[in-house]
Amino acid sequence: MDRLDDAGELRRSLKQARLQQGVEAFRESLKRSASGIKGLAVSRGDDAPDGVVAIDVEIVYADRNERQKMLLVQQGNGWVITSIETATVIEPSIPYGTPVFQEEDGVRPDD
């Protein structure tokens, strides 16, 4: 939680969840939420107030993608997260892992 804004609601919320669940259960919950991740795409977002950077994050899972925006501010020599929006679930038109070309006799078209 070192990269979360000290005074922010996000840090308070996560600390409260850790207190309620206990350290081990909280740790396992975080591990479970990250276990199916296949990829991550990060780009600079729009609509950030002065002094704040918006980051658009897309998390790729086998069966879905999740998009969310994070807001960061510079603190000392680094950046801290001040907020994370609730993720929006997107079902991709082509699921992760789907072959995108036809293989014949084990030969790929670009070979």
pLDDT tens column, 39-49: 999 999 988 88
Ordered by start, the domain boundaries in the chain are: 9-90
**Separation between Cα atoms, residue 93 and residue 14, nearest integer Å:** 34
Domain 9-90 has CATH 3.40.190.10: no
More confident residue, 7 or 33: 33
Question: At what angle are helices 23-34 and 9-21 packed, to 10 degrees?
Answer: 110
User: Coil, strand, or helix at residue 8?
Assistant: coil
- Per-residue pLDDT at 102: 73
pLDDT tens column, 61-108: 988 999 999 999 888 888 888 888 999 999 988 888 888 877 676 666
**Separation between Cα atoms, residue 63 and residue 35, nearest integer Å:** 13
Q: What is the pTM of this model?
A: 0.69
